Amino acid sequence: MPAKGSIVVNELYCKGCELCVSACPQHVIGLADHLTHKGYHPAHLLRDGCTGCDICAIVCPEAAITVFREIVSRKKIEPAIVAISPIPQTSKAITPGFLN
């Protein structure tokens, strides 16, 4: 089963350059119809299908994208949602037990 992911775009930083749109291998990012306070159409998720691969966050020149990925532990059954970008401020944010 492919990993399940999601993104959050910080519209304060997004300039609508579409680099993330072009880079997404799942083709699930597009530009929204509305404008930001700076006058840009911000990126957003169009539909399900994000795998949390992090490529969009890596290519974004404004560091405007945070990627979340659902990870199922090998030791535990419970899934966990972790932020994988930008780099979390503390290691606790990405080590809820299953990575130990």
DSSP E strands in the chain: the ranges are: 4-9, 29-31, 43-45, 65-72, 79-85
- Give the integer Cα–Cα distance in Å for 19 and 50: 16
Minimum distance from CB of 75 to ligand SF4 (Å)? 25
Q: Tell me: does residue 9 bind ligand SF4 (CB under 6 A).
A: yes
- Using CB under 6 A, pick the residue from 4, 19, 82, 96 that binds ligand SF4: 19
Q: How far is the CB of 9 from ligand SF4 (least distance, A)?
A: 5
CB 65 within 8 A of CB 20: yes
Q: Which stretch binds ligand SF4 (CB under 6 A): 54-62, 71-79, 89-97?
A: 54-62
64, 51 Cβ separation under 8 angstroms: no
**Residues touching ligand SF4, count (CB under 6 A):** 27
Binds ligand SF4 (CB under 6 A): choice among 2, 18, 35, 47: 18
